[in-house]
Structure formats: structure tokens, C-alpha cells
Amino acid sequence: MTWTSSRAASVAVFVLALALRLLLLHEARLAPYADSLVLDAEEYQMLARGLVSGDWAQASEDTYVHGMLYPALWAVVMLMGGTPWAMCFLQAVLGAATCVLLQRAALRLMPPATALACGLLAAVYWPFVLYSSQLMATTLVLLLTTALLALMLRPGAPSASGSLAAGLVLALLTSTRANTALLAPVVLWWLVRTARTGGRSSWQVGALLAAGFVVGLTPFVAYNWSVQGTAVPFEGAWSFYMGNN
């Protein structure tokens, strides 16, 4: 094992990524609007408060286009006495972890030095750094996406636990950003293809992936159906128009 593929390399990526994100937070505290949340951040905070108070349905009435996992994470931070700045700190850690996951996934596809370069570039890539300081679901979406990628690229045929874990991570990703459910056929195709190459039963891999996805997504779908009458958050033409400028 070379240094570039060792745990020390991953630690270096994490430390660099976290240091830059914390430095940005340190600078951002002096901004005029640092303590005033607007647009999506304000809506996520309202949803998190609704979860903490038990009044989620009322809180989500005017802003029902967001997935529930991110405000649920924020609600946990609130229950522990954390302020929005504590949530920003948590996001800095998650953003740094994303860079490490990207580096580890790249190790399955590239030489160790190139994979390390991927992790280092992710650590210093300004949009990644900037968005980790924004109180929006973007950081969580990136973390779960890279975690799913790392699971898909594990060496050898997919194991039972790996297939189940991929389904659960995909469900969490969908619970954060509903349109990522479109990745499900791609993930299924990749794991079944890998299973056939490794001599495993493609039916077993597909069934375990589906089981993890259904189990992980059931609470999300059940709640959406009870509140809005649809399986996922949906606001129709208005969101489509605004989201596409």
C-alpha cells in the first residue's frame, strides 16, 4: 500500500477540507446577514422547529417542496440545544467527509495518486466549500450521493449487506431530494451487472436493494401521503418554472 492510498492520505484530505470550511464560517460570522436566514434556509428552520414542537404539518403547509431528512437532522441539532451555527459546523464536518468518500471511491477507478488528487480538489473546490456553509440540503445530498457511489464501487461482487445498504442510502437520498429517486434504475443496473460478473445471483442483489429502498423510504412516503396526498413533495408547474429560471 502506498501513502497515497493509505488512511493517512484520507485524514489529510479531511483535515484540509474541514479547515477551509471552518475558516469560511469564521469569516462569515462578520457578514451583515449572518444571523438572518432567508429563503430555503428559513423554510428548513421552520420545518425543523415544526418537528421539534410536534407541529410539522402546520409548518410544512406553506413550503411543501422540501424533503424531510434535512430538517429532521436540523431538528436533532435543535433538540441538543444547537443554534444555526452548530448546524453550520455539522455541515462543515459532513462536507469534509464527502471529500474523503470521493477520494475513497476514486481509488476503485484510478491510480492512488490520482484518487488523492480528486479528494484534494474536492477539499479546495470553492462551490463545495461555499455551499457547506449554507443552511440548505445540498451538503447532505452530496454526502449521501458520494456514499452511494462508494458502496457501488466496492471491489468484488455486491454482498448482501452492501446491496441492502445501497438501498437504504438511496432511500435516505430520496428523502432529502425527491428527484434523486431517478437514480434507482441506474443503481439497480450497476449492482446487477456487477453481481453477474462476480458470479452472484442478480435476483438476490436486486431484491435486497429493493428491500433496503422500500424499508428506508416507507416513513417518508407515508408521511407525504398523509400530508399532501402524493408519494413525494410536489408543487407542480410553479416549482418547475422557478427551478428552471
pLDDT digits (tens, 9 = 90+) for 134-151: 888 888 989 999 998 888
CB crowding 198-230: b at 16 or more within 10 Å, else e: eebebeebbebbeebbeebbeebbeebeeebee
Distance CA 22, CA 129 (A): 9
Rg of the chain (C-alpha set): 19
What are the residues whose beta carbons fall under 8 Å from the beta carbon of 117, sequence distance 6 or more?
none
Q: Per-residue pLDDT for 197 more than 70?
A: no
Distance CA 177, CA 69 (A): 9
pLDDT digits (tens, 9 = 90+) for 59-93: 555 555 667 888 888 888 888 887 888 888 899 99
Q: Which residue has the cell 455486491?
A: 158
**Structural contact between residues 121 and 74, judged by C-beta atoms closer than 8 angstroms:** no
**Structural contact between residues 162 and 208, judged by C-beta atoms closer than 8 angstroms:** no
Q: Which amino acid, 1?
A: M
Q: Which residue has the cell 446577514?
A: 33
Under the banding of pLDDT at 50, 70 and 90, the label for residue 176 is confident
Distance CA 172, CA 177 (A): 9
Distance CA 155, CA 146 (A): 16
Look at residue 111 in the predicted model and tell me its pLDDT: 87
